[in-house]
């Protein structure tokens, strides 16, 4: 198993550009989520999905879109990049949404918006 | 609402010694899970250990153990025989519902430095 994979590892964008951060998992997990990690702010939830075709907003969803057409993939789209979106982005997955279920993280994408 | 508190911003330990990283939590749920993650300087989030609220025994995974005291709402991570590679940020987390979202709630983390 590759676990949770994310691409790219690093990305530099100019303000106003759009891009998609890719996330995939091969563990047949139902629950997938996106977090961003900023110094002094910890990890904050952007969007999550409890299964294919079902997504919901986290605490910082503005400026981001997600969709979940398959169990394996959960891409995060930045519609019009802003410097405030400079951050490290983590995708995570777990078997389900149970509060006792472990979430496994991908390696992260370091995004810089100029 | 769930809350995780890690009161130690930084900890130092000598190689081969044991170290305890503190974590207290707050929740009104009866069923919950507590997790510890390690984040080395390379940036990835590595799952270390899990403790369920109904587990009667403290969790152990190799050199990691969790000192779970339910009545005190604490879930301290114990690392035995510290190694230089243990130097990293350590995050305690609880899974639950906060602000209308199902998510992991993280503490602010403890930076552990292992000295040779």
Which residues in chain B have Cβ-Cβ distances shorter than 8 Å to A57?
101
Maximal C-alpha separation, chain A: 40
Size of interface A-B (CB pairs under 8 A): 69
Strand pairing category for A42-51 and A31-38: antiparallel
In whole angstroms, what is the distance from residue B75 CA to residue A31 CA? Answer: 25
Angstrom distance (rounded) from CA A88 to CA B96: 23
Min CA distance, A58 vs chain B (Å)? 6
With the C-alpha atoms ordered A89, A94, A100, A105, is the resulting torsion angle positive or negative? negative
Whether chain A has a CB inside 8 Å of the CB on B99: the answer is yes
Q: Does pLDDT of A1 surpass 80?
A: no
B64 pLDDT tier (thresholds 50, 70, 90): very high
Proportion of chain B above pLDDT 90, given as a percent? 79
Residue B98 pLDDT class (50, 70, 90 cuts): low
Decide if B96 and A92 are in contact by the 8 Å CB cutoff.
no
Residues of chain B contacting residue A101, judged by C-beta atoms under 8 Å apart: 33, 95
Average pLDDT, chain B: 93
Kindly give, in sequence order, each residue whose CB lies less than 8 Å from that of residue B47, ignoring residues fewer than 6 positions away. Answer: A102, A103, A104, A105, B35, B36, B37
Q: Is residue A104 predicted with pLDDT exceeding 90? A: yes
Contact B101 A56 (CB under 8 A): yes
Q: For residues B22-38, give the mean pLDDT.
A: 92
pLDDT tens, A22-49? 999 999 999 999 999 998 777 899 999 9
| Mean pLDDT for the stretch of residues A63-81 | 97
Count of CB atoms situated within 10 Å of the CB of B80? 13
The answer to whether the CB atoms of B47 and A103 lie below 8 A apart is yes
Region B57-67 average pLDDT: 96
Give the whole-number percent of chain B exceeding pLDDT 70. Answer: 95
Kindly determine whether residue A102 and residue B50, on different chains, have CB atoms separated by under 8 Å.
yes
Instruction: Please state, rounded to an integer, the average pLDDT across all residues of chain A.
Output: 94
Answer whether residue B19 shows pLDDT above 80. Answer: yes
d(CA B12, CA B114): 6
Query: Residue B103 above 90 pLDDT?
Result: no
Residue B100: which pLDDT band, with cuts at 50, 70 and 90?
low
């Amino acid at each position: 198993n590759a676990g949770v994979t994310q691409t790219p590892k690093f990305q530099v964008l100019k303000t106003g550009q759009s891009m998609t951060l890719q996330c995939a998992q091969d563990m047949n997990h139902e629950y997938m989520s996106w977090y961003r990690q900023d110094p002094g702010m910890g990890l904050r939830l952007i969007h999550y999905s409890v299964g294919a075709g079902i997504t919901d907003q986290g605490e910082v969803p503005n400026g981001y879109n997600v969709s979940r057409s398959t169990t394996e993939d959960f891409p995060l789209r930045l519609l019009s990049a802003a410097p405030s979106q400079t951050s490290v982005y983590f995708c995570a997955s777990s078997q389900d949404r149970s509060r006792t279920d472990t979430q496994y993280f991908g390696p992260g994408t370091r995004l810089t918006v100029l | 609402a769930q809350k995780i508190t890690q009161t130690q911003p930084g900890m130092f330990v000598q190689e081969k010694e044991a170290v305890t990283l503190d974590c207290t939590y707050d929740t009104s749920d009866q069923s919950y899970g507590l997790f510890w993650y390690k984040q080395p300087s390379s940036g990835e989030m590595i799952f270390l250990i899990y403790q369920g609220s109904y587990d009667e025994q403290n969790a152990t995974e190799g050199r990691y153990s969790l000192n779970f005291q339910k009545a005190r709402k604490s879930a301290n991570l114990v690392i035995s025989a510290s190694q230089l590679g243990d130097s990293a940020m350590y995050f305690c987390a609880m899974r639950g519902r906060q602000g209308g979202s199902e998510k992991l709630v993280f503490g602010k983390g403890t930076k552990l430095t292992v000295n040779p």
